[in-house]
Structure 1
Amino acid sequence: MLAICIPIYNQDVTLLIAELEKQIKGVNHPIEIVLIDDASQANYKSLNEPLSNRHTYIELKENIGRSRIRNLFLKYTSATYLLFLDCDALIHQPNFLKEYFQSIENKKLVVCGGRVNQKEPPNRSHYLNWKYSTLRESVSVEKRLQKPNLSFMTNNFLIERKTFETVLFDERLINYGHEDTLFGFELMKRGISIAHIDNPIFNGDIEDNTTYLFKTELGLKNLSTICKSIDNDPQFISSVRLLEYYFTIQNSFTLLVIRNIYRIGKPIIRKRLESGYGSLKLFDFYKLGYFDELFRKKNED
């Protein structure tokens, strides 16, 4: 059996479920849909609650975070395979589920399908998220296959149950970001290769620049926490481009220059990024400076 697992937070998933139900009718395999709401606002709950008449639907009283909620699905399904989808996903592939069953038949343990964005750029208030996601995260299957475990993302992936029980998401990571980076790394350490197929979801929720910057900062906080918890494991550092560069220049004059420019220019850089006119290089610089600030504070604690 396949369980389609969708963690929900402040999102109407009725269109996503309708498309999945349509595709389930065309697949000759047992499939269930399991939904867990991570303490969403009441208006979103009221939209999604009717789905409980047809599917497993759980509402949590308190928000438990992206890692813990994914592990929790094991409690509510006994399926052999779990297909995780983000709640803001839209499915445009008519054979989306059939493609994953082909991977199951080929006995793949972990499979990523990928993600695509709208081709037309949004207005400037949502430009940063769209540009970064389009140019850095919406990667073709050919590029993902070059570094399979470093291209893992949680928004659209299939995993065999026993494998998932062996490599759970790290529940110490409560906030947003990089739980997928650590999960892919843990799979790699155990010699479990991630298969990649051309079966993308459509990213249906482009965030405004201010929200996206805030979530980026949360992700960098998680990344700093991960580094400390694994004693700056060289393998992990080499798997994240920002970390690899940071630790290369850590004791150099270059970092001192970056640190001073960031300290003085942070408000101006942030304002530029929030306006939607900042380049990805400026965004990279902001992330590097922000991470350096976090990392030094953690080492002082």
Structure 2
Amino acid sequence: MVAPRTIIEDPLFFHSFAGVLSILIPEFKTDVRRLVTQLSSQAETLCVPYEILVLDDASGEHWLELNTSILQLKNCFIIANDTNCGRAATRNKLARKAKYNYLIFLDADVQIQSPEFLKNYLNLFSEERDQVFYGSCIYPPQKPVDEIYLLHWMYGTKIENPNLNIRQKNPYRTFHTVNFAVKNSIILKFPFDENIRNYGHEDYVWACLLKQHGIAIIHIDNPVVHEGIYSTRQFLRNTVSAVRNSIKIHKSNKGLIQTKLTKLADYIYLLRLHQLCLFLYKKLEKTMIRNLRGRNPNLWSLQIFKLGIYLRFWSKS
């Protein structure tokens, strides 16, 4: 039996130098044992230097103790933030701690689908080109039995991750941080914006930064399965957080970073229809939320919900 390793808070082991593969997983209150085991099994077959590094974003002792069992696996490590730092700062810290020069970032609530997952990424890396590779994600094909998870599942399967052809036509707009690969030098030079602490849009802001500096995002078909499905209540909370972030980003960048939502809202303000639209939204809000929490949520209602929240908070910001 392999003796458990201790958690290393700031080891010399993590100093950066050229090597091969660092698999990096930001984690908050999520059981990563199955994911790390899958990755470890694949990595062992590659015959290249690798590490799997999990960074716990101050989840608490329960989650840290639960995930500590990954330390029994070869080249697997877990470190922890003392305080919650947010998604952007946690990814930046993982990049700084990474030992090797090729990085694969994965959300903690995914599972690996393809036995060739790591190999598919490794075959794409090039020392000569500065590129980011996005493998996308899919949701479980089975409709959730409990309706409280239905809205997130429907949004994820129908909107969040379009097919490869659509993603290739809009490579920056359709990028997400759930499953991507990048050279360490890129993310150290162009880190995620740590001013974005709450949920939403830190991935799109980073994609826009890459676009401004001529770094391509290459979309490939190498998905993970997104098993972390939120309840409708939490999903709507996250939606509100993302909308509020989009307002802050839109104002701080003077409109340079645009989403479909900000473009529509700008057009409504240009036509001076914002007060009428907000009035109508308030009349319909309770009915829409009941629909979104029900057995047959309408995704158009979700889009109207986003617009209404945007108009409401724009006037207050």
TM bucket normalised to smaller = over 0.9
Question: Is 1:111–2:130 an aligned residue pair?
Answer: no
Secondary structure class of the residue paired with 2:155: helix
8 Å Cα contact 2:28/2:57 also seen in 1: yes
Matched, 1:61 2:82: yes
Q: Kindly provide the CA deviation profile for residues 30-62 of structure 1, in whole angstroms up to 9, marking residues without a partner as x.
A: 111111000114322221012234422111121
Tell me the residue number matched to 1:218.
241
Which letter does structure 2 place at the counterpart of 1:68? A
Partner of 1:260: 279
2:268 — aligned with what?
249
- Measured in 2, the distance between the counterparts of 1:217 and 1:295 equals 12
Shift of 1:137: 1.4
Choose from 275, 296, 302 the match for 1:277: 296
Residue in 1 that maps onto 2:169:
146
Alignment counterpart, residue 4 of structure 1, candidates 7, 10, 23: 23
Rounded Cα–Cα distance in structure 2 between residues aligned with 1:74 and 1:206: 26
- The total of aligned residue pairs comes to 294
Corresponding residue number in structure 1 for 2:120: 99
Partner of 2:104: 83
Question: What amino acid sits opposite 2:203 in the alignment?
Answer: D
Whether the 8 Å contact between 1:117 and 1:202 is mirrored in structure 2 is yes
Please give the alpha-carbon distance, in whole angstroms, between the structure 2 residues aligned to 1:199 and 1:156. Answer: 9
Shift of 1:80: 0.9
Runs of 4+ in 1 over 6 A off after TM superposition: none
> 2: CA distance between counterparts of 1:89 and 1:296?
37
Q: Measure the CA separation in 2 of the matches of 1:215 and 1:182.
A: 17
2:141 and 2:116 map into 1 onto residues whose CA distance is 22
| 1:141-180 aligned within 5 A | 141-180=164-203
Residue equivalent to 2:50: 31
How far off its partner does 1:206 sit? 1.1
Indicate whether 1:73 and 2:94 are aligned: yes
What code does the residue aligned with 1:65 have? G
Instruction: Letter of the 1:25 partner, please give it.
Output: E
Q: Deviation at 1:17?
A: 0.6
Distance 1:121 1:74 in 2: 36
SS at match of 2:71: helix
- In structure 2, stretches of 5+ residues that fail to align are 1-19
Checking the alignment, whether the CA contact within 8 Å between 2:51 and 2:99 is kept in structure 1 is no
Q: How far off its partner does 1:21 sit?
A: 0.8
- Choose 64-73 or 264-273, whichever is displaced more: 264-273
CA RMSD of aligned residues (A): 1.5
Q: Between Structure 1 and Structure 2, which shows a larger proportion of helix residues? A: 1
Tell me, in whole angstroms, the C-alpha distance in 1 between the residues paired with 2:274 and 2:223: 38
Q: Which stretch shows the higher mean deviation, 267-276 or 174-183?
A: 267-276
Gaps of 5+ in 1: none
Determine if contact 2:37/2:70 at 8 Å carries over to the other structure: no
